Amino acid sequence: MIHSLFLINCSGDIFLEKHWKSVVSQSVCDYFFEAQEKAIDVENVPPVISTPHHYLISIYRDKIFFVSVIQTEVPPLFVIEFLHRVADTFQDYFGECSETAIKDNVVIVYELLEEMLDNGFPLATESNILKELIKPPTILRSVVNSITGSSNVGDTLPTGQLSNIPWRRAGVKYTNNEAYFDVIEEIDAIIDKSGSTVFAEIQGVIDSCIKLSGMPDLSLSFMNPRLLDDVSFHPCIRFKRWESERVLSFIPPDGNFRLISYRVSSQNLVAIPVYVKHMISFKENTSSGRFDVTIGPKQNMGKTVEGVVMTVHMPKAVLNMNLTATQGSYTFDPVTKVLTWDVGKITPQKLPNLKGIVNLQSGAPKPEENPSLNIQFKIQQLAISGEWGILHEIGAGRTSWCRK
C-alpha cells in the first residue's frame, strides 16, 4: 500500500514528506527528478516510475507534484485516485491547493494526511467526515482558538463514519433550505481542415450544492436518459433505481459534491456551437507566410459565446508573427512557438478576425505541419446535450430549482 508521500514544487524542492510505514529516505525522489528532467515539460512526467526498490506514482496538480512511494504490488489507479483526493481535500480546506497554502497550514495538512491513511490503507476520505474530525481553518476560529485555547480537532467519533451513509453527517440544520445543481458540459471535439467533425463527445458533470436539513431523500429525473452513454455516480445514488427507472435517487452529502459525471458521444450528433474559417499558408523560399483566422458562432438558441481563447502551436520554423486582431489581444511566445489569442465574447454582427504575416527562419524549408487550432469557449445557460433535470424532494418540503 502507500508507503510515503512527498510533495514537490516546480523548482524541485521537497517541501513536505509523510510516511505511513517506516521512513523512506528523501533520496528516492532523485529518480523522480531524473524522469522530470528527461520529460522536459512538467506535464510529460510519466505517472509510474520504477526504481530499484520502490515504485513512484505521481500526479501533477496545481503546480505541485504529489509523489507517492510504493513497495508492493498495488493498483496504481487506487494510488492516483487517492492522491487526487488528497489534493481535492487541500483545495476544500484551504481554498487553494498551493505550496503556500500547504505551508501555511502544515499542521492541519499533517493531521489530515494521518487521518486519511492508516498503514497505507485509506481511512477517511469523505470531506464531511474529515471536517468533523479536523475543522477547517477560518480566521474566526483561529482567533477564538488563540483566546480560549480550544483546538480545531474534533474529539468525538464522526457520526457518519460507520453508518450506511458515510457521506452525510447527522443533525444538519439550515434556516434556508436550498439545493443547487450546476450542469457543466464540456465538448471535446476534433475537427479536420475542411470543417467536418472527426470526433466529438460531451463530458458532463452535475455539481451540487445541497444545504438541506435533516436526512433529505431526493430524486432527479432526466428528459431523455437514453442520451447518456455512460455515467459515473457518487456513492450516494441508488444504483438499483437508476437501473430500473432511470431516476437518480439519493440522500445527498451536505455541502458541495459532484453528483454524477456522464458522457454523451458522437453517435448522438453533438452540435459544435462555433466554427472557424482559417487560411494559413507558407510560401516557398520567401521565409514568410500568411495567417488569417475568423471565429464565428453557429446557431445556438440565441446564447452568446463567451471567454473564447484560441491557442495555436506554430511550426518550429516560425520566428515571429505580425498580426492584427479585430477584437481581443494576442501573444506569441517565440520560445514555445505558441500563439494565444484572447478573443472574449463573440458578437455575431462583427466576427472576430486575426490576420497578418508569419515570419519564418530564413533558409528553413517550407514547414509541412498544419498547426492545430485549439479553441476554448464558454456558453452560459446552455446544455448541449439537451439534458434538463426535474427535481423532486422528499422530506424537506420545499421546492428547489436547477441552475445551469
Partner 1 sequence: MTDSKYFTTTKKGEIFELKAELNSDKKEKKKEAVKKVIASMTVGKDVSALFPDVVNCMQTDNLELKKLVYLYLMNYAKSQPDMAIMAVNTFVKDCEDPNPLIRALAVRTMGCIRVDKITEYLCEPLRKCLKDEDPYVRKTAAVCVAKLHDINAQLVEDQGFLDTLKDLISDSNPMVVANAVAALSEIAESHPSSNLLDLNPQSINKLLTALNECTEWGQIFILDCLANYMPKDDREAQSICERVTPRLSHANSAVVLSAVKVLMKFMEMLSKDLDYYGTLLKKLAPPLVTLLSAEPELQYVALRNINLIVQKRPEILKHEMKVFFVKYNDPIYVKLEKLDIMIRLASQANIAQVLAELKEYATEVDVDFVRKAVRAIGRCAIKVEQSAERCVSTLLDLIQTKVNYVVQEAIVVIKDIFRKYPNKYESVIATLCENLDSLDEPEARAAMIWIVGEYAERIDNADELLESFLEGFHDESTQVQLQLLTAIVKLFLKKPTETQELVQQVLSLATQDSDNPDLRDRGYIYWRLLSTDPVAAKEVVLAEKPLISEETDLIEPTLLDELICYIGTLASVYHKPPSAFVEGSRGVVHKSLPPRTGSSESAESPDTAPSGGPAADQPSVIPTQGDLLGDLLNLDLGPPVSGPPMATSTVQMGAVDLLGDSLMGGSGGSFTPAPSTTAPTNVGAPLGSGLGDLFDLTGGVGTLSGSYVAPKTVWLPAMKAKGLEISGTFSRQVGSISMDLVLTNKALQVMSDFAIQFNRNSFGLAPAAPLQVHAPLAPNQSVEISLPLNTVGSVMKMEPLNNLQVAVKNNIDVFYFSTLYPLHILFVEDGKMERQMFLATWKDMPNENETQFQIKDCSLNADAVSSKLQGSNIFTIAKRNVEGQDMLYQSLKLTNGIWVLAELRIQPSNPSFTLSLKCRAPEVSQYIYQAYETILKN
User: What is the Cα 82 distance to its own chain's centre?
Assistant: 15
Dihedral angle over CA of 338, 184, 262, 386, nearest 10: -110
**Which residue from 10, 106, 170, 357 is in contact with partner 1, where contact means CB under 8 A?**
106
* Span 272-311, contacts to partner 1 by CB under 8 A: none
**Which residue from 299, 368, 397, 401 is in contact with partner 1, where contact means CB under 8 A?**
368
**Which residue from 326, 374, 381, 399 is in contact with partner 1, where contact means CB under 8 A?**
374
- 17 forms part of the interface with partner 1 (CB under 8 A): yes
- 401 forms part of the interface with partner 1 (CB under 8 A): no
- 70 forms part of the interface with partner 1 (CB under 8 A): yes
* Span 238-257, contacts to partner 1 by CB under 8 A: 239, 242-243
The set of cell numbers assigned to 375 is 479553441
Strand boundaries in 334-404, DSSP class E: 338-344, 353-360, 373-379, 389-394
**Which residue from 48, 144, 170, 390 is in contact with partner 1, where contact means CB under 8 A?**
48
- 258 forms part of the interface with partner 1 (CB under 8 A): yes
The amino acid occupying position 193 is K
* Binding piece for partner 1, criterion CB under 8 A, among 14-22, 219-227, 339-347, 391-399: 14-22
Which residues does 157 contact at the CB level (< 8 Å), separation at least 6? Answer: none
Question: 76-94 and 106-116 are packed helices; what angle lies between their axes, rounded to 10 degrees?
Answer: 140
- 67 forms part of the interface with partner 1 (CB under 8 A): no
Residue reference for cell 483566546: 147
Task: Give whole-number Cα distances, 160 to 114, 184, 369, in Å.
Answer: 19, 29, 57
* Binding piece for partner 1, criterion CB under 8 A, among 65-73, 280-288, 356-364, 382-390: 65-73
Residue reference for cell 459525471: 261
- 43 forms part of the interface with partner 1 (CB under 8 A): yes
The amino acid occupying position 185 is E
Task: Give whole-number Cα distances, 145 to 115, 190, 361, in Å.
Answer: 21, 54, 64
Q: What is the C-alpha end-to-end distance of the chain, expressed in Å? A: 41
**Which residue from 8, 24, 28, 59 is in contact with partner 1, where contact means CB under 8 A?**
59
- Name beta bridge partners: 156: none
- 12 forms part of the interface with partner 1 (CB under 8 A): no
Q: How far is the CB of 399 from partner 1 (least distance, A)?
A: 28
* Span 324-363, contacts to partner 1 by CB under 8 A: none
- 62 forms part of the interface with partner 1 (CB under 8 A): no
- 271 forms part of the interface with partner 1 (CB under 8 A): no
Residue placing its CB nearer to partner 1 in the complex, 273 or 367: 367
- Name beta bridge partners: 281: 290
Residue placing its CB nearer to partner 1 in the complex, 119 or 224: 119
Cα 67 to Cα 18: distance, rounded to the nearest angstrom? 11
Q: How far is the CB of 76 from partner 1 (least distance, A)?
A: 5
- 65 forms part of the interface with partner 1 (CB under 8 A): no
Cα 129 to Cα 315: distance, rounded to the nearest angstrom? 51
- 388 forms part of the interface with partner 1 (CB under 8 A): no
- 138 forms part of the interface with partner 1 (CB under 8 A): no
Cα 237 to Cα 233: distance, rounded to the nearest angstrom? 6
Best CA proximity match to 372, nearest among 222, 193, 201: 193
* Span 174-233, contacts to partner 1 by CB under 8 A: 188, 190, 192, 198-199, 201, 203, 229-233
**Which residue from 9, 98, 105, 294 is in contact with partner 1, where contact means CB under 8 A?**
105
* Binding piece for partner 1, criterion CB under 8 A, among 105-113, 210-218, 271-279, 377-385: 105-113
- 98 forms part of the interface with partner 1 (CB under 8 A): no
The angle formed by the CA atoms of residues 311, 317 and 322, to the nearest 5 degrees, is: 60
